[in-house]
Amino acid sequence: MKPTETESSPAAAPVRAPEAVFEKIAVTIAEHPAEACRQLAAGIRQLIERRQAEGRQAVLGLATGSTPVPLYRELVRLHREEGLSFANVVTFNLDEYYGLERHHPESYHRFMCDQLFDHIDIDPDHIHVPDGTVPPDEILQYCQDYERLIDEAGGIDLQILGIGRTGHIGFNEPGSTRESLTRRITLDRVTRQDAATDFLGVENVPRFAITMGVGTILRARKIVLMAWGENKAGVVAEAVEGPVTEAVSASFLQGHGDATFLVDRCAASHLTRVRAPWLVGPVEWSAGTAFRAVVWLAQKCAKPVLKLVDEEYNEHGMSDLVTERGGGYPINIEVFNRLQQTITGWPGGKPDADDSNRPERADPYPKRVLVFSPEPQDALVAMGGVLERLIEQGHDVRFVAMTSGSLRVRDEDALRFCRVLLELSELSGEESWGGQEREAEKLVRLLDGKAPFSEDPQEVRRIKALLLRGEVRDACAVCGLARQRVLFLDLPFYERGRYRRFLSGPDDVQCCVEVLREFQPHQIYTTGATADPSSLSAVTYGVLESAFDQVRPESWSQDCRVWHYRCRENPYQPHEISMAMPLSPDQLERKARLLLGFQTISKVELAVCDENRDLAAAYDRLGLAEYEAIEALQRRR
Ligand code: GLP
């Protein structure tokens, strides 16, 4: 019998990429989300144009959240600048909060109009977003109709997805079955927490939503799940490499014939091929890779670095490293020393000390230091201890609140303040209070007349910003920083925008250029390089990066070091840290008290003190000294 082609020809055997041993869904890792979105948008364009040529409709399944924002911007650009028409496009959105009117500022319907539908030539009758106002007794029928409409449109050609931190797609929270269809669900605590900033407090986030089911999504012919930023890394790895489970509804995509995860480097960072490439295939053992691998190995074996033995190296894909270096023990010592050298109580460098193995140079002393904070409290959350130390050690520090933070301040807090003003003016009864009284009365009127979650009038934003200003000055004072050393840039993009939809411009960059030129810092502390590009910290980071590019030719910039902290992303792990600053029990307590001074501080932000403790425990387990808590920084070149 003539052998079939697959039996005879080695070329016909499917070539499995080495990472496929771990990855059960195709993953494309893009350098940057913008690049990934350009490629995906080009694919969508092809689909639409092919269908146009055939006289047919293209059916898109769409998602909301920060993740698809750059994709929608690119689609709008293709329409505006390259004439792509959406006249033959039909869309079905995944989900909607239950209880929100379609015009509610936080409804997904409104989001889609703001981000996409209002800027393209789609026929409004072709748009489908689940209705969050269907009466309870009609929900079942409504959801069945939604399914039917998808089928009548010919099924979804391409389903775009994001992923929630609980691993959900759409709003299919843990427990959703593979067969689930469009229905009303109860939102998970983590999901509601993630939406808390949009709704000014978790208590305002709706408890229910209507969502397409996992089964509905799996019927799409092609699926692309996008994820950006460090925060998604854990859940991406779980969905791609973990078991198929109702606990992570995105894992059901493993059973779809044409599903791809499109991720940036940060969101890919927990995949085995990135996190532990030595398990996947041969690696080049640079000093950096060896360091990462040994810290990983010690954590994996739950042992201090200095106690690792050759067998453990061999059993975990690192035998070639041991051979290359003539045994594991010299590597243990090298890695231990490097970890040890990250620890310092002198974040600005120790004057007159040998600095060859210290994270920061000794000279110049004192240093000019700029601490950039996206919203006023962010840097205090992440590096309140470091800030205190820098000031105590005599450096010339400026705290730069990049945005006013007014979006964080609740109406109730602004109202309470205005009412105090009114009480005071009534008590004092002096004429000089007349102006303030009128102002306070006007603010109360504006706040009382405001529709829930609608945009604040300028005056309200200003008073909210001022409330936060007072709080941040007080918090900085606890760290020893004089009030006049706190700068407020009030970057314009923030005043124009909403969370997830910020768009910075040259005016923002100019504000930062001026600060950099004026202070010519030796050290900059900043955040957001590995965050989702639509997040506030990523937008402010982009602004600062562009500003730095402008001043790069100036000689002082050559002598400026940039240190990175993390505020809303996953905390740094020991192998990622270039400076670990220990906090004493007293210092940690001061930090907690300082954070409690912010009316707007959230539970998640307060949990940073536990994270600081956990990191100290992780250093301890690796065999280093046992501290109460540690704040971590990474040097960026
Ligand atoms: C919500 C939406 C999902 C989205 C997820 C992640 O839960 N229902 O569709 O994928 O948020 O949002 P983001 O992209 O903002 O991280």
Q: Could you tell me if the CB of 540 is within 6 A of ligand 1?
A: no
The answer to whether the beta carbons of residues 321 and 313 sit under 8 Å apart is yes
Backbone angles phi, psi at 546, to 5 degrees: -65, -40
**Model pLDDT, residue 422:** 85
Q: Is the peptide bond before 136 cis (omega within 30 degrees of 0)?
A: no
CA of 194 to the centre of ligand 1 (A): 9
Q: Could you tell me if the CB of 130 is within 6 A of ligand 1?
A: no
What pTM was computed for the model?
0.92
Q: Could you tell me if the CB of 170 is within 6 A of ligand 1?
A: yes
- Mutate which of 64, 109, 188, 192 for ligand 1? The one with the most ligand atoms within 8 Å of its CB, which is 64
Contacts of 372 (CB under 8 A, 6+ apart): 379, 400, 402, 524, 525, 526, 527, 540, 544
- Mutate which of 72, 159, 163 for ligand 1? The one with the most ligand atoms within 8 Å of its CB, which is 163
CA of 275 to the centre of ligand 1 (A): 25
Q: From the alpha carbon of 170, which atom of ligand 1 is closest?
A: 9
Domains by residue range for the chain, with CATH: 26-272 (3.40.50.1360), 276-342 (no CATH), 368-408+468-636 (3.40.50.10320)
Q: What does the pLDDT look like over 237-252, one tens digit per residue?
A: 999 999 999 999 999 9
**Model pLDDT, residue 7:** 36
pLDDT over 70 at 11, yes or no: no
Paired with 261 in beta bridges are 27, 225
pLDDT over 90 at 603, yes or no: no
Q: Where are the beta strands (DSSP E) in 409-566?
A: 486-488, 523-526, 561-564
Contacts of 227 (CB under 8 A, 6+ apart): 67, 162, 163, 235, 236, 261, 262, 263, 264, 267
CA of 227 to the centre of ligand 1 (A): 10
Distance CA 547, CA 545 (A): 5
- 353-to-346, 358, 387, 396, 625 alpha-carbon distances in Å: 11, 9, 21, 19, 21
Q: What does the pLDDT look like over 249-294, one tens digit per residue?
A: 999 999 999 999 999 999 999 999 999 999 999 999 999 999 999 9
- Mutate which of 62, 66, 67 for ligand 1? The one with the most ligand atoms within 8 Å of its CB, which is 67
Q: What does the pLDDT look like over 69-117, one tens digit per residue?
A: 999 999 999 999 999 999 999 999 999 999 999 999 899 999 999 999 9
CA of 129 to the centre of ligand 1 (A): 15
Burial 465-493 (b: 16+ CB within 10 A, else e): bbbbbebbbebbebbebeeebbbbbbbeb
Q: From the alpha carbon of 67, which atom of ligand 1 is closest?
A: 14
Mean of pLDDT values over 337-341: 97
Name which residue sits closest to atom 10 of ligand 1, judged by CA: 162
**Model pLDDT, residue 469:** 95
Q: How confident is the model at residue 5 (pLDDT cuts 50, 70, 90)?
A: very low
Q: What does the pLDDT look like over 19-76, one tens digit per residue?
A: 778 999 999 999 999 999 999 999 999 999 999 999 999 999 999 999 999 999 999 9
Q: Could you tell me if the CB of 376 is within 6 A of ligand 1?
A: no
Query: Looking at 173, 375, 569, 631, which residue is catalytic?
Result: 173
**Model pLDDT, residue 15:** 57
Dihedral Cα 283, 289, 295, 297, nearest 10 deg: 0
Q: From the alpha carbon of 163, which atom of ligand 1 is closest?
A: 10
Q: Is 173 a catalytic residue?
A: yes
Mean of pLDDT values over 330-342: 97
pLDDT over 80 at 3, yes or no: no
Distance CA 386, CA 523 (A): 13
Q: What does the pLDDT look like over 380-435, one tens digit per residue?
A: 999 999 999 999 999 999 999 999 999 999 888 888 988 888 888 888 776 677 77
pLDDT over 90 at 602, yes or no: no
The answer to whether the beta carbons of residues 248 and 174 sit under 8 Å apart is yes
Mean of pLDDT values over 210-219: 98
CA of 407 to the centre of ligand 1 (A): 20
**Model pLDDT, residue 16:** 61
